[in-house]
Structure 1
Amino acid sequence: MTTALWPGHVHPVQIHFEDLDAMGVVHNARYVLLLERALAGYWAERGWAFDPTKPHFADIFFVVREFSITYQVPINSVGEAAVHFWVEHLGTTSVVYGFRVLSADRSVTHAEGRRVQVKLDPATLRPSPMTPALRTAIEPLLASPTTSL
């Protein structure tokens, strides 16, 4: 279940044994996957599953252009965590997510960062504008009304 938090949303994610490194903490590269799990879950719950057989697949054909993260407190166990994410900027062909990886009870920030995505045309692999339907679906995640251009 997704819980609303302004701005954006908090989505639960599972930390699996294979997410841990040799020191018993979540490997730094796995934080990217935690964000992916949260975003995929959020969009699938709203009917925007990443499935090439669905008619709106071309609407959500995005690639990551930039990813930055700052680690605060290691996660040192399997179980549930949470990812809080929101949209900092909505452009014509791009979207910038801000995010925080939190403890399940939201009392600890384990990491925070941003991710820039660009929508591509699946046939040409060139940037293409987001559809009005997708822009409308993204709006609830906007940090403020002025971040949409």
Structure 2
Amino acid sequence: MTTLTETYGGVVRLPVHFDDLDAMGVLHNSRYAVLVERALLIWWQERGVFFSKDRPPTPDTFNVVREYAITYHRPVAGAGEVVVRFWLDRLGTTSAEYGFEITSSDGGTVHAEGRRVNVGLDARTMRPAPWTDHAREVAAELLKR
């Protein structure tokens, strides 16, 4: 399990809704990935990297998930709030390797942790494309030191 310092990474608090739960009243396994996705979207959007119907997307918003791995430790029981912590283990020319953990709202329980690799694409060719200087500058906040 990973413990983050205050010098890198992002933290986003998100709600767990009743309809996120399975028949046993715990967060459905597929919803953990959705929480990570939402947290990353919120974090990047706050820094000006997002899709909008009112403006063209930045090149860095056109990316896909290449790998995703998650280890579940303790189920999230019931609706409420969780914390998604994430960081970049590595930022390559065209890829970004995130680490993440989903914890209780007080941070005392790690429910799950994992790894996610994104690859930036050229929207026209659908081939890997380098991250822009702006994305690299913003991503520096997330880089694990």
Instruction: Please say whether Structure 1 and Structure 2 have the same fold, judged by a TM-score greater than 0.5.
Output: yes
Task: Give 1:55 deviation, angstroms.
Answer: 3.8
- 1:48 and 1:75 mapped to 2: Cα distance? 30
Instruction: Letter of the 1:77 partner, please give it.
Output: G
Contact 1:51 1:57 in 2 (8 A): no
Residue equivalent to 1:18: 19
Instruction: Letter of the 2:55 partner, please give it.
Output: K
Matched, 1:80 2:76: no
- 1:93 and 1:75 mapped to 2: Cα distance? 34
Output aligned runs, 1:22-101, within 5 Å.
Answer: 22-51=23-52, 53-101=54-102
TM-score, normalised to structure 1, is: 0.89
Matched, 1:143 2:144: yes
Instruction: Letter of the 2:42 partner, please give it.
Output: G
- 1:5 and 1:71 mapped to 2: Cα distance? 24
Task: Give 1:56 deviation, angstroms.
Answer: 4.3
Q: CA RMSD in A?
A: 1.4
Contact 2:59 2:132 in 1 (8 A): no
Residue equivalent to 1:147: none
Deviations 1:114-139 (A, max 9, x none): 00000000111110111111111100
Task: Give 1:17 deviation, angstroms.
Answer: 1.1
| More displaced 10-residue stretch of structure 1: 43-52 or 28-37 | 43-52
Gaps of 5+ in 2: none
TM-score, normalised to structure 2, is: 0.91
Task: Give 1:20 deviation, angstroms.
Answer: 0.4
- 2:114 and 2:13 mapped to 1: Cα distance? 17
Task: Give 1:68 deviation, angstroms.
Answer: 0.1
| Runs of 4+ displaced beyond 4 Å | none
Task: Give 1:34 deviation, angstroms.
Answer: 0.5
Query: What fraction of aligned residue pairs are identical, expressed as a percent?
Result: 49
- Equivalenced residue count is 141
Gaps of 5+ in 1: 145-149
